[in-house]
Amino acid sequence: MISRLARIARLPTRLLGRRASGEGGSIVVEGARKATGGKGRTRVVMTMAVFFGIYSTIAGRLVYLGFQNPDLSGGPQSRVTASRPDIVDRNGEVLATDIKTASLFAEPRRIVDADEAIEKLSTVLPEIDYEQTYHKLKSGAGFVWLQRQLTPKQQADIMQLGIPGFGFRTEKRRFYPAGETSSYIVGLTNIDNQGISGMEKYIDEQGLSDLQASGLAIAKDLKPVQLSIDLRVQHIVRDEIATGMEKYHAIAAGAVVLNVKTGEVLAMASVPDFDPNNPYNAQDKDRLNRMSAGLYEMGSTFKSFTTAMALDSGKVTMESRFDASRPIRIGHQTIHDFHGKGRVLSVPEVFIYSSNIGSAKEAEAVGIDGHREFLHRLGILEKMQTELPEVARPTEPKVWKQVTSITVAFGHGVSTTPLQTAVGCAALMNGGYLMEPTFLRRTQEQAMSVAKKVVSEKTVEAMRYLYALNAEKGSGRNARVPGYRVGGKTGTAEKVVNGRYSKDKNFNAFVAAFPMDDPQYIVLTIADEPKPEKPGMGATAASNAGVMAANIIRRSASMLGVKPDFSHENGATLVSYQ
C-alpha cells in the first residue's frame, strides 16, 4: 500500500515535471528565438551601413570630380564625330571624302621596357623617330600619340607585335580620289581633319569648324558641297599644262576655264602641284597656285583692256588711226614694237599686230585717271572676291604718271593674277557684265543678280570682232580649233629679274574665247619662263600658251556642250562688226 501510494505520489511529480519541463522548454525556445532575432537585425543593419558607406563614398567622389577640370592625359579626345562633308564636282563625282583610319597611341605608365617596345615597333614603322618616341614612352604620362593615320596593314602588323600599353583609336582622315588633278582647288586638311587650304578651308570658315568643336558634325547630317568644277574638263586642263610645262621646258604652267555667262570656274590648275593624299611637298617654294595666288605682269593680254577702254570712252572708234611709225621716248625709256609695221595703224591693226606704240597712244587718248579707273572698274587691280582663300592682291604704283599709263597699256608696270585677267576678259565677251568668279554652282540668273555693268554692248561687239580677227590674221592663229570659232589675244611679257626686265625670261599668256558668235567660255593659259620647243623655234606666247589653249578647247568643248560648226573653214570669221 505504501508502495502504491508512493507510486501515486510520484505520478503527479513526474507529470508536473513533464509539464514543468514543457513550460520551461517553451521558455528556453522563446528566449533563443529572441536572441537569434536580435542578432539577425544587427547583421542586416551592419550590412546596410556598409553598403550605404560605399555608395556614399562613390557619390561623394563623383560630386568632387564634377567640379574638377577634366584630365585629358588619360586618353585621346574622341574625333569620331569630327566629320567633313563630301566635296563633289558639278556632276556629283567625289573630289574629297572621309575615310576611317586607325591611329596608334601608348600609355607610358603601362610600358615595361621602352627600348624593346620601340625595337618591335620599328619593324613595322621604320621611319619612326627613336629618340622622340623613347622620351614619349618614358614620360610617365597617361596617354601619348605615336603614329596617326595608319594603313590597315600597319595596324594589323602592330597588333601582332603584342606590345603591352599600345592601343588604337579610330579617326577620320580625308581621301582625295582625283589626287593632284584638283589639288589647288579642293585644298587640304591637317592631321585633325581641319581644312587648311582651298575649298576645304572655305568650308570650315562657313561654320563647319564650329560644328566639329561642338561635336555636331555628324556624317549623316552633312550634305555634300557641290563645286562648279567639271572633273572631266579639270583632268584635261591639268594634263595639258603638265604636258606643256615639260614640252616647253617651263618652270611652271597653268590654265583656267571660265563660264562667261555665270562666272563659274569649270576647271583651273597650276603645275607644279602636289598629291593631297601624300602632301609631303605641298609647302615647297614652287608649289603655288599661280592662277589665283600668283602676281604677274600679264603682257599684251592687257591690250584687250586698253582697246576696250579706248572704245568705251567714246574718244576712240574702230576707224581711229594711230601713228606707230616711230618709237615713243619718255624720260629714260623708249617704247617700240616687237614686230613694228613702221606706219599708221587702225584700231584693229593695233590689236592684231599687238602694237605697243598704238596701245600707248590709245591710253593717252583716255588719260591717266580714266585709265586707272577703268582697270579698277573691271576688277583687274582689286583683290578678287571668291571662295578660294588663296587669292593675291594686285599691285600698282601709288601714284600714276604718264609713263605708268603708257607701260600699263601693254601690260607692264602693274601685276595681277591670271584668274582676274580671265574674269576681266569675260566681261568684254558676255555683254559687258563683271562677275566675280565662283567655285560653287551658280545659275545665270544668280550671276546676273550680283553682276555689275562695266562696258557697253557696242564695246563688247567690237571686242568680239577683234578677238575673232586676231585668231584669223593675228597672233592668235595657233589657238584656232576647227569647228569651234575661237578668238583670243596673246601676251608675252619680259620678267623682272633683279629690278630689270630680262631679255631671255618671259611670262607668256593666251586668253581665248569661244564660240565667237556668242562666247560661252574663256580659256586662259600661262607658261612661266618657257624655252623654245626645238632649236631655232621661238618661245613667244603664240608658240606655247596659245597651243595649250587650243588643245584644251579641242578636247573639252564637246564636254562643255559646245557643238562644232564646220560651215566656216577657218573657224573664226563668223563675227562681223558694224
Instruction: Strands of 67-111 (E only): list them.
Output: 87-88, 94-106
Q: How far apart are CA 142 and CA 74, in angstroms?
A: 5
Q: Is 490 exposed, middle or buried (0-12, 13-18, 19+ CB in 10 A)?
A: buried
CA distance 258 to 262: 9
Residue of 192, 212, 204 whose CA lies nearest to 103: 192
- Percent of the chain that is helix, strand, coil (3-state, to 5): 40, 20, 40
Residue with cell 529572441: 34
Run of H or E including 407: helix 402-409
Element at 525 (helix H, strand E): strand 521-528
199 vs 226, 393, 489, CA distance in Å? Answer: 11, 19, 31
N-terminal to C-terminal alpha carbon distance within the chain: 171
CA-wise closest residue to 463 among 348, 322, 378, 364:
348
Backbone angles phi, psi at 365, to 5 degrees: -65, -30
Task: Return the active site residues.
Answer: 300
Contact present, 572 and 578 (Cβ < 8 Å):
no
208 Cβ contact partners less than 8 Å away, ≥ 6 residues apart: 84, 85, 195, 217
Helix (H) / strand (E) containing 31: helix 2-66
Q: How far apart are CA 360 and CA 365, in angstroms?
A: 9
Give the list of residues 6+ apart from residue 222 with CB closer than 8 angstroms, or none.
83, 84, 85, 86
Whether residue 482 has a cis bond before it, omega within 30° of 0: no
Do residues 354 and 399 make contact, with C-beta atoms less than 8 angstroms apart? no
**Which of 404, 185, 194, 154 lies closest to 302, judged by CA?**
404
Three-state DSSP class for residue 319: coil
Give residue 62's Cα distance to chain centre.
Answer: 46
Cell digits of residue 269: 590648275
Q: Identify residue 10 by its one-letter amino acid code.
A: R
Crossing angle between the packed helical segments 231-247 and 545-556, to the nearest 10 degrees: 150
d(CA 391, CA 395): 13
Cα–Cα nearest to 524, from 539, 510, 506, 544: 510
* Rounded CA separation 237/551 (Å): 9
Inter-residue contact 497 to 506 (CB < 8 Å): no
List Cα–Cα distances, 287 to 256, 269, 280, in angstroms.
17, 12, 11
> Is residue 515 reached through a cis peptide bond, with omega within 30 degrees of 0 on the bond before it?
yes
